Chains A and B, each alone.
Chain A
Amino acid sequence: MTLDWPLLSLTTFLPTIGALLILSFVRGTEEEVARNSRWVALWTSIITFVLSLLIWVNFDTTSAEFQLAERWEWLPDFNIAYSLGVDGISLFFVLLSTFLTPICILSAWKAITKHVREYMIAFLILETLMVGMFLATDILLFYIFFEAVLIPMYIIIGVWGGQRRIYAAFKFFLYTLLGSVLMLVAIIYMYQIAGTTDIPTLMQTVFAENVQTWLWFAFFASFAVKVPMWPVHTWLPDAHVEAPTAGSVILAGVLLKMGGYGFLRFSIPMMPLASEQFADLVFWLSVIAVVYTSLVALVQEDMKKLIAYSSIAHMGFVTAAIFSMNEQAIAGSIIQMLSHGVVSGALFLCVGVVYDRLHTREVARYGGLVHNMPKYALFFMVFTMASVGLPGTSGFVGEFLILVGAFQMSTWLAAGLATGMVLGAAYMLYLYRRVVFGELTKDDLKQMLDLSPREVAIFVPLVAIVLWMGIYPASFLDPIEVSVNHLIQQYETAIAAAENSAAAMAAAGQ
């Protein structure tokens, strides 16, 4: 379907326009500036979300092509263009970004009191960059968005973060930098071979097998850090702990998905032979991530760290699934990423609610909140269960499809991942018990009030999505199906072609 107006660009850059509005028109006393910035940011992000829903409405679920495509020549001499498009793989990541941004802005309503204007601007810019990254169909454009996302995130952690924010921001930066440099080198190399940076063309380009290996590792270095995979995960707990609540939500909700999206968009279609060859490596790292980080999560004393470690475990499911290369596994990996985006975001918001009241994340300081915060207890329970992967919630559909897919790949892989089902239940329920259940004995806790209407308004849409994805996931599985099948077909064709040519060469050699 084609529209006669650039829906994708509009969705991408509307937040920036909002940010510019705040920058140029919001004036007055500090309080007025803060208030107006909040409202402008909220409305901008809500309108952006509505626009992104139009993408979903106009999306043709029977096609694996990039749709609603836009293309403007940028550097025509170099064959580099500004081009956007959406397919079944990127569609819901865009929606996830636009869905979480208003929630983040709303969650920071009271929590952020200094430099509110700058905070809102940072979030809106971040939204543009995230959406642009998922929509880019030019690899250079993708790279620019992909790297630029780091800047507002770095600022959000570094300015509005906790006490050790400098250490965390630095660690975050150091890890991601290394991967990024290698990826840039790989992109330049690919450009030299293919003569273009157009993603659909690059997907058709066949790179030699040894070249694929190098390219694959260069991309892997970047994406593995983002996911993050074991053992390059240690930046995440620190970044989460120091980031403000909304920063954690975006970090867990969207930024981690950039790695998974990268594997699906680049590694598998462009380097299929290397993907097949190094799948075992990914499986090992994924299973280690699931077991290792789940056990580490079990002993955490900081609520945010615990959830951060659980994120690594959940993303371990995703990376294993992506390289299992069958329909259930890949569809499952996308659903799991979406679900994790919503659920882990919601869990960080749950931590934020009590952090705003008591200003500590230490589990031991809490206990018995169910007595004076029953609404909070209910929401927290729903998200806990979704994180555990209870059937009927979003967490189940992704996890179960992944395991079905992984089982077809290897029973070892499925069994290794499935231990996460048990361990995940252990650390989440243990956390919930220590925070919410028990006697309410501490005096400062007794003062805490239950959720405000604003906070309820934040959680209700999240619960709705969690249940929708759990009970009627067809809304999400249908649009991605064709693209997923196309991806697998493309991959299998490439593998078969390589085998044929190897056989032909062997025959010729005899």
Chain B
Amino acid sequence: MTQVYFIVFLPLLAAIIAGFFGRQLGDRGAHLVTCSSIVVAAVLSWYTFLSMTLGDLEPAVVPVFTWISSGEFSLNWALNVDALTATMLIVVTTVSAVVHIYSVGYMHHDKSQPRFMAYLSFFSFSMLMLVTADNLVQMFFGWEGVGVASYLLIGFWYHKPSANAAAIKAFIVNRVGDLGFALGIFLVFVATGSVLFEDIFPAIPGLVGESYSFLGLELDMITTMCILLFIGAMGKSAQLGLHTWLPDAMEGPTPVSALIHAATMVTAGVFMVCRLSPIFEYSEFALMVVTVVGASTAFFAATVGLTQNDIKRVIAYSTCSQLGYMFFAAGVSAYQAAMFHLMTHAFFKALLFLGAGSVIHAMSDEQDMRNMGGLAGKIKLTYAFMMIGSIALMGFGVPGVFGFAGFYSKDFILEAAWAADTAVSDYALWLGIIAAFMTAFYSGRLLFMTFHGKPRCDEKTLAHVHESPLIMTGPLWILAIGAVLAGIVGYPYFVGHHMAEFWGDAILVLPAHDIFEKAHHPEFWVIATPLAAGLSGFALSFVFYVLNPALPGIVARTFKPLYAMSYNKWYFDEIFDFLFVKPAFCIGRIFWKKGDQGTIDHFGPDGVAARTRDGARLASLMQSGYVYHYAFAMLIGVVLFATWYILSGAA
């Protein structure tokens, strides 16, 4: 198990070397150091994954050294590897390696490439720390670490005000989620006396039915824990309400979007819920919340994706929507299905993003699809990759024969929702099917607007359109193979007949929640409806953007309010700005000017000083220099004193 040291710490080492000695190493040296270390990490991860899930490598925790120890609150830096971690290891390191190599080509004009590579490697390290955590606090370390890496990479082009704003927004919205996560950790600690998974999980069944007074409310303890932790997951995985940072995060360079904001970091929330399945399983209510939030996000993000014009934003909303699927899978206790979709999604979504990057690269940094069109013939390979990625995303396939990756994982999620057969799972099922329709529509829209029809860009850009170099297209083959085959190969292990051996003890599903048997034998309509929804969505986009390009405009005008709602992302940014951002600044100013200066200083030190000055002035008035003034004053004093003395003496 010593290889796990290398998997985790090689990227850190590379980040340090490239970050601090980038100038000495030069671009080439930085590329070499970072790419080679992540490739080694990827190879070791695959070795670990295969020997654990197919071979006889036992799950293990490799301690590094003590981190924090204060009374019972005691934990180590440790590397924990089980099937869940191993799955994340291959996803993270594979996509990261691909993105590292791709970036060498994509960023070759940039003047601070060592810094970029260092950030990517630092991100990989943090993500690996997150997935190998054996306790909640180290998970939190990785959690915030990937947040910082994301912040630095979104704001990588720091001369752009929009990039800086997006970076801060990402960090702060995530922090809101992290606040929930942190409170969740505290509650777990108070309830179980530990933050180590190995201590927490066995203690949970004993807490069923216990209540806890949280913020004055008597709540079910386990439910409160789960909801707080889930708020953290919502922030990181951009779920409804805390999703606003993700589309803006597209300000970062495209490889970043592929790695962090599609394949790995944003799936951390899903991973967290799966990792904590031994807690979530004991709260029906929390699972319901997870299901509803996931399904609502899947639907909401898909509606917004329909009308966006920035190619990266379409894919960003698509990511948000797909994460929703993963969550509602977890919510119906099909954690394995959530992880399966997480894995396949990493391949095809990274492929879509990097393909989009290739398009943007070809179009001289143009991202607006309204200025594209007709590129299919000029960048054939990119077109093919985008097509593969889209088909995998739409989940097309022939049942029982073959399908692209998403066909297996997404459909299984819907089958699981059907099998769970509760009110919320039906909600999830139907929103999921509607979202599948919309997914196919916006995917088709993206393909047709970008690659088909007549070119809408100017002559100069058009003349410059070229296929990306091998260093960018080469790595995409790996993702493309994954997007095609990950589903059919992974199915038996992740959710099929071999799932028991594959997962081992990494995930807990209570017998009452186990829907896998039923989900494996769905009724015909459960298979047919999503497929039909997808095909009809794709067909509709073909009508809209190929057969009759005037149609979208007419529809938009006819359903103006709906169109505006979708185009403006349901006005979340505006509402949050009005509710939180503006008041924070306003209240801050009031506290400063009216509170500190107007009240505390006014009546405090300044007031005292002013009264002292007044007193001094009064005193100086009395010092008139005339003897009879003093004599008179003395007389009054004597009279008052005598009066007081007599009166008090008499009493």
Q: Which residues of A contact B (CB under 8 A)?
A: 170-171, 174-175, 231-232, 234-235, 237, 292, 295-300, 326-328, 331-332, 368, 370-371, 385, 390-392, 396-397, 400-401, 403-404, 407-408, 411-412, 414-415, 418-419, 421-423, 425-426, 429-430, 433, 436-439, 471-474, 477-478, 481, 485
Contact = CB atoms under 8 A, between A and B. Distances in A.
B73 A401 contact: yes
A465 B305 CA distance: 47
Contacts of A473: 67-68
B635 interface: no
Contact of A171 (B69, B70, B175, B605): B605
A438 B605 contact: no
B585 A298 contact: yes
Interface in B86-109: none
Nearest to A295: B588
B403 to A, nearest CB: 41
B175 A299 contact: no
Contacts of B601: 234
Given A331-B71, A437-B158, 17 more contacts: A298-B584, A299-B592, A327-B73, A328-B70, A331-B70, A368-B159, A391-B137, A407-B189, A411-B183, A411-B214, A430-B168, A437-B159, A438-B161, A471-B67, A472-B67, A474-B68, A477-B69
B469 interface: no
Contact of B73 (A175, A328, A429): A328
B190 to A, nearest CB: 6
A377 B65 CA distance: 31
Contact of B179 (A170, A326, A408, A421): A421
A418 B70 contact: no
Chief secondary structure at chain B's binding surface: helix
Contacts, number: 151
Most buried by B among A235, A370, A429: A429
B145 A370 contact: no
Interface in B546-600: 584-585, 587-589, 591-592, 595-597, 600
Given A403-B182, A421-B175, A477 B68 contact: yes
Given A174-B608, A421-B179, A404 B73 contact: yes
16 contacts: A170-B609, A175-B604, A292-B591, A296-B591, A299-B588, A370-B158, A371-B159, A390-B145, A392-B141, A392-B145, A404-B186, A414-B183, A422-B179, A437-B158, A438-B158, A474-B67
A473 B77 CA distance: 12
A437 B160 CA distance: 9
Most buried by B among A370, A385, A401, A418: A418
Contact of A425 (B171, B214, B584, B600): B171
Most buried by A among B183, B190, B589, B596: B596
Interface in B287-337: none
Closest 7 CB pairs of A and B: A295-B588, A407-B186, A391-B141, A327-B71, A299-B588, A437-B158, A298-B588
B485 interface: no
Interface in B178-221: 178-179, 182-183, 185-187, 189-190, 213-216
Contact of A397 (B68, B171, B605): B68
A235 B600 CA distance: 10
B66 A474 contact: yes
Interface string B42-73: 00000000000000000000000111111101
B488 interface: no
Contacts of A400: 68, 137, 182
B355 to A, nearest CB: 30
Contact of A332 (B70, B140, B164): B70
Contacts of B187: 407
A334 to B, nearest CB: 10
Nearest to A371: B159
Contacts of A299: 585, 588-589, 592
Nearest to A441: B159
B447 to A, nearest CB: 36
Given A401-B70, A407-B186, A390 B159 contact: no
Nearest to A385: B148
B376 interface: no
B281 interface: no
Contacts of B609: 170, 174
A421 B178 contact: yes
B186 A403 contact: yes
Most buried by B among A326, A407, A430: A407
A436 B592 CA distance: 25
B213 A411 contact: yes
B269 interface: no
B144 interface: yes
B127 to A, nearest CB: 14
A400 B69 CA distance: 12
Contacts of A391: 137, 140-141, 144-145
Given A412-B216, A421-B175, A175 B70 contact: no
Nearest to B141: A391
